[in-house]
């Protein structure tokens, strides 16, 4: 299961000097939904061969 960490938690998670697994597990909390942004992206994301920043560019959609 993927996890979303806050910027501060990322620093702690990646700090190799911290080996206390109980402490690290406490970082694995649900990320607040109001801090997330959802947007449509290109079909480039449908292939594992595509792994560049262009996969994150929002698609300009028109209704008609």
Is the residue at 1 inside a domain? no
Is the residue at 2 inside a domain? no
For residue 19, the SS3 value is coil
pLDDT at 54: 93
Number of domains in the chain: 1
pLDDT: which is higher, 43 or 1? 43
Q: Are 41 and 59 in contact (CB under 8 A)?
A: yes
Compute the distance between CA of residue 1 and CA of residue 3 in angstroms, rounded to an integer.
Answer: 7
Is the residue at 61 inside a domain? no
Residue 64, pLDDT > 70, answer no
pLDDT in tens, 46-56: 999 999 999 99
Q: What is the largest CA-CA distance in the chain?
A: 55
Q: Read off the pTM.
A: 0.57
Compute the distance between CA of residue 64 and CA of residue 62 in angstroms, rounded to an integer.
Answer: 6
Is the residue at 62 inside a domain? no
Compute the distance between CA of residue 63 and CA of residue 52 in angstroms, rounded to an integer.
Answer: 27
pLDDT at 53: 94
**Which residue range(s) make up the domain with 31?**
7-56
Is the residue at 19 inside a domain? yes
Tokens (6 digits) for 42: 């290109």
């Amino acid at each position: 299961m993927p996890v979303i960490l806050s910027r501060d938690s990322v620093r702690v998670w990646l700090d190799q000097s911290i080996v206390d697994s109980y402490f690290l597990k406490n970082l694995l909390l649900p990320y607040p939904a109001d801090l997330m942004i959802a947007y449509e992206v290109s079909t480039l994301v449908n292939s594992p061969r595509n792994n560049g920043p262009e996969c994150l560019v929002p698609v300009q959609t028109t209704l008609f």
